[in-house]
């Protein structure tokens, strides 16, 4: 696993690279959501991450944990759809897990994110296989034990693996069988976060 030490600036960079990825892929996320959701995932995530970047610029937090807590709070407040509380909880709980250390190791970051992913599973009552963001988050966090690149690949594979799944949570679950054959937008955006993390961890 990477020997990189993560300070607040590096976590801020993770958030800004994530925001750029969300911005770039917003159209695709909304297209995916149009097939099985309410066609707003891209614009919701864009609004949320724009607020995250602005908040981090205005008042840069001093620790990695505080960066994630600030980012999570912005997502809960501004997204307007289910991805707000879910991503907000992911980042906040991960940030709380990091405590107040000015720097964290890759292993500590992995453990924090693990706690965040578990909190998302509890909040949404979902498990891997339900065709949700957890299908990218769970394998991504697991592969973090190997490397950041492995985590990005595992999350991307996890997102692709949602295509044949039957949705059991959220609005897509109302579609039943018709949810099959479409990639889950939440898993797709989750894979973007892991790709961004791998990019900044290099």
User: What are the residues binding another protein (CB under 8 A)?
Assistant: 40, 44, 73, 76-78, 80-86, 88-89, 92, 123-124, 170-171
Toward another protein, which CB reaches closer, 89 or 183?
89
Q: Which residue, 120 or 152, is less far from another protein as judged by CB?
A: 120
The CB-of-180 to another protein minimum distance in angstroms stands at 20
Which is closer to another protein, CB of 81 or CB of 185? 81
CB of 1 to another protein, least distance (A): 30
Q: What is the CA radius of gyration of the chain?
A: 15
Please report how close the Cβ of residue 182 comes to another protein at its closest, in angstroms: 18
Neighbours of 125 (CB within 10 A): 10
As measured in angstroms, the least distance from the Cβ of 24 to another protein is 23
Determine phi and psi for 133, rounding to 5 degrees.
-55, -25
Residue 145 three-state SS: coil
| Closest distance to another protein from the beta carbon of 177 (Å) | 20
| Residue nearer to another protein on the CB measure, 82 or 198 | 82
Quick one: 83 or 179, whose CB is closer to another protein?
A: 83
């Amino acid at each position: 696993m990477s020997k990189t030490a993560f300070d607040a600036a590096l976590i801020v960079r993770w958030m800004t690279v994530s925001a750029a990825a969300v911005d770039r892929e917003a159209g695709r996320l909304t297209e995916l959501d149009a097939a099985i959701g309410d066609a707003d995932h891209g614009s919701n995530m864009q609004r949320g991450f724009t607020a995250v970047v602005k908040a981090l610029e205005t008042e840069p937090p001093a620790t990695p944990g505080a960066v994630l807590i600030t980012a999570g709070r912005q997502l809960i407040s501004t997204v307007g759809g289910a991805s707000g509380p879910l991503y907000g909880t992911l980042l906040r709980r991960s940030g709380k897990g990091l405590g107040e250390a000015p720097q964290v190791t890759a292993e500590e970051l992995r453990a924090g994110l693990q706690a965040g992913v578990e909190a998302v599973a509890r909040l949404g009552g979902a498990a891997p296989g339900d065709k949700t963001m957890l299908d990218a988050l769970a394998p991504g966090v697991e592969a973090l034990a190997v490397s950041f690149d492995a985590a990005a690949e595992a999350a991307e594979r996890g997102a692709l693996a949602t295509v044949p799944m039957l949705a059991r949570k959220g609005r897509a679950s109302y579609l039943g069988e018709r949810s099959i054959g479409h990639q889950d937008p939440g898993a797709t955006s989750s894979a973007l976060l892991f790709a961004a993390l791998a990019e900044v961890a290099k």
